[in-house]
A and B are shown apart, each in its own frame.
Chain A
Amino acid sequence: MAKLTINGTLRDVDVSPDTPLLWAIREQVGLTGTKYGCGVAQCGACTVHIDGEPMRSCSLPVSAIRPEQKIVTIEGLSPDSSHPVQKAWLALDVPQCGYCQSGMIMAAAALLAKTPKPTDADIDANITNICRCGTYNRVRAGIKQAAGV
């Protein structure tokens, strides 16, 4: 059993301690916006925020997370898709298949929280998620639009 604070709610999650956070979120909590892509922290499709930091939840056992740590998933980023990143993504039609975009949006939102006016170099260094459809140029444009730069 793990105690996790997900999107503002403290939950008892019935999993073995070695279960990765990704699978606890998806299979016990039932929030499926966070995706599995590789299981080895390579692709970033599973990115969530833990105390504001973008983390790859596929490689993070629930035992490593304290109950008071704030986990935010794509479903908790905003109540109505009103986060500036989500609005920019909609305006620019960023997603193609969309499967990686939950992780991409969470990575972008975390970047903007720390670096409100990111440079191209900031984007290159902080957005390391894989998108096989190849939406990168619209991701970059979306981050800039959300940042107003």
Chain B
Amino acid sequence: MTQSIDVPALDVSRRGFIASAVASVGIFSLGFSITPQAKAQGLAPEVNAWVVIKPDDTVVVRIARSEMGQGTLTGLAQLVAEELECDWSKVTWEYPTPGQNVARNRVWKNFSTGGSRGIRESEQYVREGGAAARMMLIQAAANGWSVPAADCKVLKGVITHPASGRSTTYGKVAEAAAKIEPPKEVKLKNPKDWTIAGQSLPRLDTADKLNGKQVYGFDLKLPGMMNASIKACPVFGGTVASFDVAKIEKMPGVKRVLKVGENAVAVVAETWWQANSALLALPIIWNEGPNAKVSSADIAAFVKEGLDAEQAFEGNKQGDAKGAIAGAAKRVEATYSYPLQNHACMEPMNATALWTPDKCEVWCPTQNGEAAFGAAVQASGHPAAKVDVYKMHLGGGFGRRGRSDYVIQAVQIARQMPGIPIKLLWSREEDMAQGTYHPITQCKLVGGLDAQGNLVGLHMRISGQSILSGVNPQGLQNGRDPVVFQGLNPSGAEGPFGYTIPNLLIDHAMRNPHVPPGFWRGVNLNQNAIYVECFMDELAAAAGVDALEFRRRMMKNHPKHLAVLETVAKGIGWGSPAPAGVFRGLSQIMGFGSYVAAAAEVSVANDGKIKVHRIVASTNPGHVVNPSQVAAQVEGSFVYGLSAAFYQECTVKNGAIVEQNFDTYPAMRIDEMPKVESILIPSGDFWGGVGEPTIAVAAPAVLNAIAAATGRRIRHLPMKNTDLRRA
């Protein structure tokens, strides 16, 4: 996203803070060891906000963004270490807290981790932080030797003065360096000279994930802690009418049964299993509100109406699309649809809160530490200076953990039980029922071809849900949601459209159902790529032109889009015969700052079973900080994108989500995983993200291959709803 949309308005009085790290360290007074990294918090000399160096030369890099599997933690540490010129084998990390960030005038800038922004939005200032620390450390050594800093050199954290043969280490001069005035200007290395960044270095956070030691939010143990399970009204917008405590209060371990906010009931017990068992037995009566009768069919009809509505917000306009189509030799029309989907993080939502009259502390997996902090401040009733949030590793995020609803609930429960740490864990069923869902949309595409088979006009009408309307209405532009047009924009980092079409109209009729939308890994690029890239194949077929050649004709002015497309076409062997029974499909798009393309080889058996044999993917993210981790993101994107495309749909009955667990909301497993060949072609002239864009090209490449294999065009997702059996 281009705009800052994540941090809720915070009523933070700067004067309310004791603006020092010492005050923040005091918040750790409980003495819990949350992570090995956190032990370093404030104990070792800080050279600057990004770099802490201990006397034993251990380098602690401060990481503001959240690690949820995407590898950003390691990538950011590589960028700092590259400029710092330290010994990578001595690098570790820690999370500063959101409270510290606010208290220190946002010295670590944005904590929000979404939109594939972790690296691309912070690479400049974290590299400058590493470079400034290096200069200060060298200066400290030079001061000690009374020599010019320019005469000193550094390699892997060892500073030398060649003329005199003296040497010292970062650990020995760190304390002195911390007192040196930071440099006004720093010069960053040319990426061509990188030795730490740009390398496939091992992740910094793997070892503890192999033996059960990694503490996720849901694993946290605090002295005297109790456990909570919660149920909110399954009908969005409904509230709690009543619940019968007497029915469960004698059940094993049960301590309290509480109303939480207006719409939820929680049971607090000694263990979570006891709490959840009691919650399942608790009779709750809901005021279901005005949405109690809404079904998927109602929502579909509501969205469909927008396909031909008069009013729509323009996203991209060139020439006169409707006129050109009316005068075209051939008219092609198709309507597509994309469902509501849950993120289904492996670790369900959870947060732990301890509330006392004097302070409120929260431990939680969050993609947005400052938003979680703001939510905790508001829910706690305390001033910001008496609140802090400690970030935990995330068991998946995918956009869901950018929201703080579960944090608010934990604080609301803890506030009713002062002095007792409360760990709130949602059941999987609650996680499925209380999502913030991938927006539901439909799209009507109409294209006009001239006699030579060229696309002379395209009208793409998107109808459906706006994420910003649900998440951040103040981000709307006179009612228009600019995020809807990801990948379809005239220009910009969030997806310039990759085709030059003389007459083009892409517009959006906003239709918001009652189901809350959210940023879902890949966001609107997902359905936009399906709509555009599948329809391009439909147009190519109508024109009688090869799908790659048809695209090429419109991509002369889009060399970066074309480069990734041609890379995958070459990689998959486009134009040469495929193995018997195997068919190919292509797709490309630009979003999250990066250019991506995919080519798939697919077969469809007589019984309709689809097999994806092989995928070639190409990414131009500008710069690559860790090729191995980018490859992991690309591979994983096919799992996330194809799970969605094959299986995932949240349907609505009586106002509530029907699918409650992985049995009705399946995900791809290893037996369905194709080989993935990831080809990186960084052009070096920009910085793009990699966590999300590839998801968008997964489905259309496979859908295009299925159409090639069967002659049938699947236009409605997920694919499980289409029977491909041959008669």
Verify B636–A133 contact, CB threshold 8 A: yes
B662 interface residue (CB < 8 Å to A): yes
B394 interface residue (CB < 8 Å to A): yes
Contact with A along B292-321 (1 / 0, CB 8 A): 000000000000000000000000000000
Verify B662–A96 contact, CB threshold 8 A: no
B68 interface residue (CB < 8 Å to A): yes
Classify the interface of chain B: helix, strand, loop or mixed.
loop
- CB contacts (< 8 Å) of B638 on chain A: these are 134
A81 CB contact (under 8 Å) in B211, B632, B637: B211
A129 interface residue (CB < 8 Å to B): yes
Give chain A nearest CB distance to B68 CB in angstroms.
5
- CB contacts (< 8 Å) of B328 on chain A: these are none
A98 CB contact (under 8 Å) in B69, B628, B639, B662: B69
- CB contacts (< 8 Å) of B205 on chain A: these are 98
B607 interface residue (CB < 8 Å to A): no
Interface residues of A in 81-136 (CB under 8 A from B): 81, 86, 89-90, 93-102, 105, 123-125, 127-136
A77 interface residue (CB < 8 Å to B): yes
A20 interface residue (CB < 8 Å to B): yes
Interface residues of A in 40-62 (CB under 8 A from B): 40, 42-43, 45
Verify B273–A20 contact, CB threshold 8 A: yes
- CB contacts (< 8 Å) of B210 on chain A: these are 81, 86, 89-90, 95, 101, 105
- CB contacts (< 8 Å) of B273 on chain A: these are 15, 19-20, 23, 27
CA distance A86 to B213 in the complex (A): 13
The stretch from B5-13, B467-475, B667-675, B711-719 touching chain A is: B667-675
The stretch from B99-107, B181-189, B216-224 touching chain A is: B216-224
Q: A93-B628, A125-B671, A138-B632 are in contact. Are A130 and B211 (CB under 8 A)?
A: no
Give chain A nearest CB distance to B211 CB in angstroms.
5
A6 interface residue (CB < 8 Å to B): no
The stretch from B154-162, B242-250, B343-351 touching chain A is: B343-351
Contact with B along A1-41 (1 / 0, CB 8 A): 00000000000000110011001000110111111111110
Verify B344–A132 contact, CB threshold 8 A: yes
Give chain B nearest CB distance to A48 CB in angstroms.
11
- CB contacts (< 8 Å) of A16 on chain B: these are 252
Chain A residue nearest in CB terms to B345? A132
B613 interface residue (CB < 8 Å to A): no
B221 CB contact (under 8 Å) in A15, A32, A34: A32
- CB contacts (< 8 Å) of A31 on chain B: these are 212
Interface residues of B in 184-226 (CB under 8 A from A): 202-203, 205-216, 218-219, 221
Q: Which one of B69, B202, B209, B219 has the greatest number of beta carbons of chain A within 10 Å? A: B209
A71 interface residue (CB < 8 Å to B): no
B396 interface residue (CB < 8 Å to A): yes
CA distance A43 to B675 in the complex (A): 22
Interface residues of B in 583-614 (CB under 8 A from A): none
- CB contacts (< 8 Å) of B425 on chain A: these are 36
B550 interface residue (CB < 8 Å to A): no
Verify A134–B212 contact, CB threshold 8 A: no
- CB contacts (< 8 Å) of B637 on chain A: these are 134
B398 interface residue (CB < 8 Å to A): yes
Verify B211–A33 contact, CB threshold 8 A: yes
Verify A123–B670 contact, CB threshold 8 A: yes
Verify B271–A23 contact, CB threshold 8 A: yes
Interface residues of B in 634-686 (CB under 8 A from A): 635-640, 643, 661-663, 667-671, 673, 675-676
Q: A93-B202, A133-B636 are in contact. Are A101 and B271 (CB under 8 A)?
A: no
Verify A97–B393 contact, CB threshold 8 A: yes
- CB contacts (< 8 Å) of A140 on chain B: these are 670, 673
Verify B635–A137 contact, CB threshold 8 A: yes
CA distance A101 to B205 in the complex (A): 13
Q: A99-B395, A130-B662 are in contact. Are A136 and B214 (CB under 8 A)?
A: no
